[in-house]
Structure 1
Amino acid sequence: MNISQEKVNDLNAVINVDITPADYTESVNKAIKEQAKKAKLPGFRPGMVPTSHIKKTYGKAILFDEVNRLVSDSLNTYLTENKIEVLGQPLPKEGTADDYKWDFSDEFKFQYEVGLAPAFEVPFTEKDKVTQYDIKVDEETLASRIKNLRKSYGKMTNPDVSEDGDVLYSTLTQLDKDGNVLAGGIENTASVRTDLVNDKKIKKSLIGLKKEDEVKFDLKKAFDNEAAARILNITQEEVDALAEPNFKLVVKNVNRLEEADLNEELFNKLFGEGEVKTEEEFRARVSSEVEAMLVQNSDQRLQNDLYNLGMEKVNVAFPDEFLKRWLKATNEKLTDEELVEGYEDFVKNLKWTLIENKIITANKLEIKYEEVFKLAKERIAAQFKMYSPEPIGEEQLAQYTVQFLQDKEQANRLFEEVKALKVFDYLKGIVKLTKKEIDYNKFLELK
C-alpha cells in the first residue's frame, strides 16, 4: 500500500491511496472464512458451507467492505502519524471513480480531498488586558428579587379594578380600519399580562378596568411578536402578516398575584425548616444568592470578552468550498439556502474550537471524567433543589449522575462545557485582568 499527499494550497490537499491485492487478500479470505462459519444456506449444514461457494455468492460484497475498511483505517492512521490536522472528514475526489472489476485482482487507486486547518499561534499573552467586572447588588436589584420570590409563593386574587401588573382574562376581537368588528377576523379568549405591554399609553388604558369593560388598541404596538402570538393563539409569522392590528378587548376577569407575607412560613418554603427566622436573615440570604448569580454574570461577560479577543486576534482563512461540500455530503436534508444562512456561524464555532484545542494541546490541559461527573452531579442537584428545599442523598445523586452520563449526547455536551471552563480558567491566569466595580443596572447597559 502506498499513501501520499498532494498539497493543493495551504488549506486544501489531496490524499492518494494505492492498494494492491497483497494489501487486501489476506483480510478478504479471513472474512470469507468467517462468513462460511456463520452462513445458513439451503443444501448445506450450518457452518459447513464451502468457502468457494461463499466467495462466488458474496465475494464481491465482502471484498468491497474489506477494501473500504482498509482504506478508512489506513487513511486515519496516515493523517494521525503525519500530524495532518483536517477539518471535517476526507471526501472522495469528484470525477475519480474508476470502473473496477472487483474480481480479487484489482489494483485500486483512490483520491480523497481534505480541508486543512489553518496555521496560527495561541492568540493570548500576558500583554492582553481584559476588564473583570465586580457587580454590586443594588437595592433595586435586591427588591426585585425579593418581589419575585414573594410572588412565586403568593396567592391569586380577583380584584374589582385592574392595576399595573395584573392579568386580564379577556376576549380579543379583531377590528377593521373603521373600528368595527372585522368579518372573518381573529377572535380569541386569553390572559393578557399588563406587565408585558410595551406602549405606555396602551398600558395606561388597561389600568382601572372592571369586568365587561372594553378598550380598543393596536395589539402589535402593545406587545412583541411572541406575546402577541400567544394572546391570539397564532404563529409569530402570522402576527407579522397582520394587516389589521387593532383589537377590541373585553375584560372577563381581573387576576392579581398577591405577594406572600414575609414570615416564617415563606422562609421555611424557600430555605428549609428553621434555616431563616427573621426578615433581616431573609434579606441577607437573598442578597447572598443574588451575589452568587452576579458572579456567574460577571464570569459569563469575561468569557465573552475573551472569546471576542481571541476571535479578533486570529485572522485566518478556511477551506470554504471543501467545508460546504462536506456539510452537504454529511447532511442530506441540508438545503442550499440553509447552508448559506448558517455557514458563517458554523465557521465561527469551528474557529473557536480550533483556538480552544490549540490552547489545550499547547499547555497539556486534561479533561478528566471526574470533572465531567462533578459538573453533571451539580446540575442534577440544582434541578432537584428547584422542586424541593430538602437535599437529595449523595448515594442517590451519584446513581442519577451515572444514568445521566450514559446518554452520549448529554455526556458530550458536558465534556464540552468542562473543556470551555478549563480553557477559561487557564486564560484568566494568562491575560491581565483589570477589576472594576459596577452596579448591576449599569452592567446590564454594557454592550
Structure 2
Amino acid sequence: MTPAARISAAIEVIAGILAERRPAADVLTEWGRRHRFAGSGDRAALSSLVYDTLRRRASAGWIMGQPAGEETPRALVLGMLHLARGLDAEAIGRLCDGSRFAPEPLTDEEAARLAGDTLGEAPAHVRGDYPEWLDAPLARVFGDDRAEEGAGLAGRAPLDLRVNTLKSDVGKAAQQLAHLDPVAGAWSPLALRIAPNADGKAPPLTAEPAYLKGSVEIQDEGSQLAAILAAPARGAQVLDLCAGGGGKTLALAALMDNAGQLYAYDDDLRRLAPIHERVQRAGAHNVQIRSPKGRAGTGPDVLADLEGRMDLVLVDAPCTGTGTWRRNPDAKWRMRPGALAERVKEQAEILDAAARFVKPGGRLAYITCSLLDEENVDQVRAFLARHAGFRALPPAEAVLALGERGIALRAAALERPEGLLLTPRRTGTDGFFVSLMVRDA
C-alpha cells in the first residue's frame, strides 16, 4: 500500500470506530480480514495512523473546525497528520491528491486550517485531548496543569519489561535483549524499557527466548512500582485479591523470593484464566490460585480460611483506566460518566471485603490505574472513615521500599496524604495511584 492508500484506509477505519463505538482493535482486525492483500507492514502502519488519530481526536477536530461529537473521520486524520506527524498543509496535500486509492484533494478550507494557528486558544480539554466532561474531575487533581497531563496521556507508550529475579537478573536480561536496545527504567530497579519504532509498534516480545523462558514479563514500570511499594516481605502471607491475569501476582512472588505464601484470587474466572500458564513460566512456586466457585455470590467462600491472617492484602481495583490512555486511546472516547459512578461503588465494596483479611499490624495496598480523585483519595478517605482501625501510611514512609530511588520518585509524583499518583508527564509511566494502609496492631 502507498502512504496515501494507508491514509485512506485510516479514514475508513476511523469511520467504523465512530459509527459503531467499537474498540479500535476489533475494527482494525475486521478491516484486515476484508483486505487480505495488506501485508504486516501495511497493517502496522495503519494501526499507528488510527491510534494516533484517536490519541489526538479533540485537538485534531479543533484545528479542522469540527464541533466535538460531530467530527468527520477525514478531518480527524488530516488534523492528526499535522499535529502528531508534523506534516504541513503542502505535505498533506501531496498525499491527498485524489489519485487511485488516495484521499480526495484538500479543499481550500482544509488547506487554510492546516496552515493556520494550532491550539493556542483551545480550551484545556482540547489541548489535553480528553472528553470535555472529564475537565472538572481532572482540574480537581491537576489544576491548571490538566491540559499538560492530558497531553502526556496522548503520547505513545513504550514497552516496559520487568526482569523476573526468580530466573534472571537485569544484566543478563538486558544482554539477551540487546538487539532491541533496552534501557534501564528510571525508577524500578527491575525495569527495562524498549522504545517503539517509528510507527509506534513494539517488537514481538512474546517470541523472544527471554520471555518464553520466563526471564522477563511485560509490565509497565508504574505497575512494577506499585508492587514494590506494597513491600511484600519474604516469608509473608499475601493475598492478591484482584489478581486478574497475574501481572502483579508474579511481581509479588519475585519480590518475596518464592518464600511465604501468595494467594491469587479474582471473582471473574475469565480474567484469572491466563495466570496459570504465567505462574508456571515464571517459576513462581509460592503462588496458590484460589478460583471462585459457582456464580458470583452463590458458591462457597474460597477465601474464608484467610480471614485475619494476611500480612499484606493487595487490591488492584477495577477502575476507569484513565491512566492507561496511552495504550488504549479509544477507551477515553467510549468512557461515560455512568462508568465512573459504577467503578466507585465497586471499589468501595472490594475495599470493605479486603479489610477482613488483613491481620493486626498488616497492610492493605490499594492501587488503581486511574487519575481521578473519585477513585483514589476519595476512596481511601471514605474507607478510613468506615474502618477506624486502619490508618494511611505517609508516602514518605512508603517510598522507603525503593531506597534512594524512592526519594526521587516522591519528588516527581503527585503526593497526597493518602498516597502517590504517577503519571506519564511526571514519572514517564502509565497513570497509577498507590495507597498503603496499616491495620492497628
- What TM-score do the two structures reach when normalised by structure 1? 0.21
Over alpha carbons, which structure has the higher Rg?
A: 1
Return the TM-score normalized by structure 2: 0.22
Larger RCO, structures 1/2 (Cα 8 Å, 6+ apart) = 1
Instruction: Specify which structure has the higher proportion of strand.
Output: 1
